[in-house]
Amino acid sequence: MRTQFFIALKLFFSMTLLTGVIYPLVVTGIAQGFFAKEANGSLITKENVVIGSELIGQAFDTAIYFNSRPSASGYSSMPSGASNLSVTSEKLKRQIIERKSLFLMNNRLPQSVVVPSDMLFASGSGLDPHISVSAAKLQINRIATARHLTSDEGVQLTQCVDQMVESRQWFLLGEPRVNVLLLNLMIDNRFKSKK
């Protein structure tokens, strides 16, 4: 009986050392050595200040920036999540109608324009950093007007959107998309005096 106790104790300490210390150190070392940016949250800095992450959406509520996808959690990562409203929910229907009318009004678009679904529905996590290419292109005129861009600069703004399009992951997952934070940083750099 005593021998079994010591065998169990040795096994407990060896497994604790292996799975609780050695394995995490090896994985952390590999992550920091080969994927340091991703392992540290893909943080974006501006003038040595962290302003966001490529992986987490945030609110952009001014007319000079591209707007992010709606978030059921208010872009809070603690806790993140969806609204969990079903397709038969009256509250969801009201939210969609409000989001559509707000998107059309803010972008001065006619009622006949089809608003992309990513601007009407919140993402499952509430933290999606991307919008569809069509959602970005529908916002170009508003931003050009708010930044007082010339027609040539408006063309450059469209080119910025085209440059920031990310293709499908591994050529088959998802849809082409645009990272809103990275796009807004690009247009800030391109049109510095036009804020």
The pTM (predicted TM-score) of the whole model is 0.80
Confidence grade of residue 195 (pLDDT, cut at 50, 70, 90)? low
> Comparing C-alpha atoms, which of 119, 106, 126, 132 is closest to residue 58?
126
**How many Å apart are CA 129 and CA 54, to the nearest integer?**
7
CB 53 within 8 A of CB 41: yes
Q: Across the strands, what pairs with 49? A: 46
**How many Å apart are CA 191 and CA 35, to the nearest integer?**
32
- Give residue 194's pLDDT: 61
**pLDDT single digits (tens) 100-130:** 999 999 999 999 999 999 999 988 787 889 9
Residue 22 tokens read as 């050695």
In percent, the amount of the chain with pLDDT more than 70 equals: 98
**pLDDT single digits (tens) 139-177:** 999 999 999 999 999 899 999 999 999 988 888 888 999
- Give residue 75's pLDDT: 78
- Give residue 124's pLDDT: 79
Q: Residue type at 112? A: S
Q: Residue type at 72? A: A
Q: Return the number of other C-beta atoms located less than 10 Å from residue 75's C-beta.
A: 18
What is the phi/psi pair of residue 60, to 5°?
-130, 100
Three-class SS state of 168? coil
